[in-house]
Amino acid sequence: MTQPRSDLARSTLGVLIIGGLILAAFWVLRPFIGPAIWATTIVVATWPLMLRLQALLLHRRSLAVLVMTLVLLLVFVLPIVLAVITLVENVDEIVAAGRRLAGLRISTPPDWVVGLPLVGPKLQALWLQLVAAGGEGLVAKVLPYAGEATKWVASQVGSVGVLVVNAMLVVGLSALMYAEGEVAAAMLIRVGRRLAGAAGEAVVVLAGQAIRGVAMGVGVTALVQSVLGGLGLALTGVPYAGLLTVLMFMLCIAQLGPILVLAPAVAWLYWSGDPTWGTVLLVITLVVGTLDNFLRPFLIRMGADLPLLLIFSGVIGGLLAFGLVGIFIGPVVLAVCYRLMQAWVAEGQRPDA
């Protein structure tokens, strides 16, 4: 019995049409991919909390979704609005501070700076260079770095309007996922089972565990560090403590740490002639800055039983490859590859091994 010949043209056209449809769908959904990834991460990480809230609200899903949506609005939209309002209200003061800095006369370094072990001579030499340059020289040294930092922030965040729209999209998509979470999870599990059987279903579950673990490790650690750092700023009398706390939280989420905010605050306290509160904030800075070394690994291991080296490689590599959302994409990709490799190696072992 002769076998029917394969129609090469038909097969090729079918593959091209399917590929074109996939590209067209991707192009249409491209503006929503980033917010959808953020919304998925938030919903997966906070799903147990939503279920507990639903049980407290007489098992009414609509009420639980409403409360979670309001919380997300407070977390994502309110800080942006407050930051913009604070900058607008204090723009004159910021400009005046820059002018005062340009006319500042820097005094010689105090004795305690010179007496610091190891770094004292280097700080003295740097301080003397600033004295020789004066305030204008300091501004000239800072402006190039400030310009580069501004360009980087602008390229990452975009305009305030775009940022607010993206935040609203994240909140709206999260509300939809909260309402239909079980349906979406069941569909993903069926897709995984259709692709690779039981192993594909396990990979879908593993991806959810990895997202939850990284969200707990990164998000909760950033929240704890920013809250403790913000309390330290408010306690020591640093101005704009609320705005600096929001900035600190964003830096902690981006894996840059709270030191970039707390260290200049410590220097400002010493500079303004308040060494007591400067020392207090320095101690708080050391505690808060090293807290993530202990808290983040513990929380990540609670959410997903994966090697810490793999998780950290995924966080850093994903951040460099995909931006801020890559913090969650990277660990998920590496976790799935890691478990697939484990399953492949296990299938090749002898029964008596």
- At 20, is the pLDDT very low, low, confident or very high (cuts 50, 70, 90)? very high
Mean of pLDDT values over 18-47? 86
* Burial classification of residue 226, based on how many CB atoms lie within 10 Å of its CB (0-12 exposed, 13-18 middle, 19 or more buried): buried
Domain boundaries, the chain: 32-179, 196-346
Q: For Cα atoms 301, 335, 339, give the angle at the middle one, nearest 5 degrees.
A: 105
Rounded percentage of the chain residues whose pLDDT exceeds 70: 69
Helix, strand, or coil (residue 295): helix
**Identity of residue 303:** G
More confident residue, 353 or 116: 116
How many CB atoms within 10 Å of residue 332?
23
User: Is 70 exceeded by the pLDDT of residue 93?
Assistant: no
Per-residue model confidence (pLDDT) at position 242: 77
User: Is 60 exceeded by the pLDDT of residue 160?
Assistant: no
DSSP secondary structure letter of residue 73: I
> What are the structure tokens assigned to 233, written together?
């700023």
Tell whether the torsion through CA atoms of 225, 230, 235 and 238 is positive or negative. positive
pLDDT digits (tens, 9 = 90+) for 269-318: 888 877 888 888 888 888 888 888 778 777 777 766 667 777 778 777 88
Mean of pLDDT values over 345-351? 65
**Identity of residue 350:** R
- At 157, is the pLDDT very low, low, confident or very high (cuts 50, 70, 90)? very low
- At 319, is the pLDDT very low, low, confident or very high (cuts 50, 70, 90)? confident
Mean of pLDDT values over 160-174? 77
Length of the chain: 353
**Considering the entire predicted model, what is its pTM?**
0.63
Per-residue model confidence (pLDDT) at position 23: 92
